[in-house]
Amino acid sequence: MADTEYCRRTAVTGLSVSPTDATRLRELVSEWKRGCQLAVNEAWGVCHTRSEVQQLAYDELREHTDLSSQHAVLATHRAAEAIKRAGESGTKPEFTSPTVAFDTRTMTVFEDRTVSLTTTDDRVRCDLDLPADGGYQSRYLDGEEWEPAKSALRYRDGEFVFHLGFRTPKPAVDPPTEGATVLGVDLGVENLAVTSTARFFPAGELSHRREEFERVRESLEATGTRSASRTLRQAGYRTDQFVTHRLHEIANGIVEEATRYDCELVAFGKLAEVHDLLPEADPFHEWLFERLLSMVEYRAAARDIAVVEVNPEYTSQRCMECGFTHPQNRDVEAGHFECLKCEASANDDYNAAKNIAFRCVRRGPLSSRGLGAAACALQSGVVTPDDGFTPYAELSDPPLSD
């Protein structure tokens, strides 16, 4: 099951740690930071996917740190995340945060409210320090449907805090078998997302905030004082919060749009392909796309809307009016689409979003689960392969009626 097909929750808990175990965990924290940094140093400017960074840096980590084999793997993955987040134009990440990742191979959660953790030495087993009434944490610890998942150990001010992750399969959305209306979404650099119904979500503020943060970082790093590094941490945190907040807004907007136009399906171009087709996107954008897609899936599931991926090839070159496909139909610099054959013109991302919806109708989603998309939702009507364009006013049961 793909990673995006789970709902995730985190239960935060203190840990009761004996002095000997505390020493082991502190040693782990320090080796972890070193391992992540080694992996970033190896991979920076070379590669950024998890598997690439793992391949490149794993042996180095095993040789030069005391991390267990699985923690070495996790550290290369953490490094890959950090490289993506920083993007190509950003500053090389520095690992100063005392936070170690755990997964089900490096931790075991027991029914007696204890957890056993892999360190650089023996495993340690310690009590979870839960509120007397069990707290909200017991809902996940006791809930049959929740299983332990990716977690994190933080060490701050002499205390260990465990962010115990849980996951459960997402409620399956019964896919429509026929006659569904699909909303197409094009992902891009100028506009982070554009829907086939002509709703635009510009990336402007996101790129702007990140550039601003990089400028602040440069000047603070030049200062090099303790208070400068604290200010830097705070600025980084605020930037992350801003980006997350904006992604939530965009995800909400896309799902609202699907609801407004009575769509049972939302189609995206397959992300792996999007990366190849968008030479102007850097790893930061990949990171934004992945987060956005999983936020949309999560919200859409709550409204019984299925999210699918289609092959995005040529969706930016094809004319939605006449079907003529040519690279020169599109002026990437100007963000403009004008068909060489029928002279129809539009914003290029909007044209691509319509094509993504249409591809879902014509060929179905990539991981075909028997979804039956019959019509694309556009701003003023629907398009079907057989009947062409029908304005909403002529439908027996039009959306947007309120």
Interaction site with Zn ion (CB under 5 A): 319, 321-322, 324, 339, 341-342, 344
Please report how close the Cβ of residue 351 comes to Zn ion at its closest, in angstroms. 10
Distance CA 87, CA 293 (A): 19
Closest approach, Cβ 308 to Zn ion, in A, equals 26
Q: Which is nearer to Zn ion, 108 or 325 (CB)?
A: 325
Q: How far is the CB of 376 from Zn ion (least distance, A)?
A: 16
* CB 119, CB 28: distance < 8 Å: yes
Residue 389 C-beta: closest distance to Zn ion, Å? 14
Separation CA 123–CA 121 (nearest Å): 7
**Whose CA is closest to 162, among 19, 14, 28, 10?**
14
In angstroms, rounded to a whole number, what is the distance separating the alpha carbons of residues 243 and 252?
14
CA distance 215 to 195: 33
Compute the least distance from the CB of residue 317 to Zn ion, in Å: 11
Q: Which is nearer to Zn ion, 362 or 369 (CB)?
A: 362
Q: Cβ–Cβ contacts within 10 Å for residue 7, how many?
A: 16
Q: Of 191 and 317, which has the nearer Cβ to Zn ion?
A: 317
Question: Nearest approach, Cβ of 251 to Zn ion (angstroms)?
Answer: 32
Closest contact distance (angstroms) between CB of 326 and Zn ion is 9
Which residues make beta-bridge pairs with 108? 116
Of the two residues 141 and 378, which places its CB atom closer to Zn ion in the complex? 378
Under a CB-based contact definition with an 8 Å cutoff, are residues 165 and 9 in contact? yes
Short-list 49, 108, 106, 23, CA closest to 72: 106
CA-closest candidate to residue 343, choices 332, 331, 333, 329: 329
243 vs 353 by CB, closer to Zn ion = 353
The nearest distance, CB 319 to Zn ion, in angstroms, is 3
Nearer Cβ to Zn ion (217/318): 318
Pick between residue 228 and residue 344 the one whose CB is nearest to Zn ion: 344
Nearer to Zn ion, 140 or 358 (CB): 358
Shortest reach from residue 323's CB to Zn ion, in Å: 7
Largest CA distance in the chain: 76
CB 344 within 8 A of CB 321: yes
- CA-CA distance, 268 to 287, in Å (whole number)? 15
Closer Cβ to Zn ion, 48 or 318, answer by number:
318
Nearest Cα to 263, choosing from 199, 171, 317, 190? 199
Q: In this structure, what is the dihedral angle of CA atoms 140, 142, 145, 151, given to the nearest 10 degrees?
A: 40
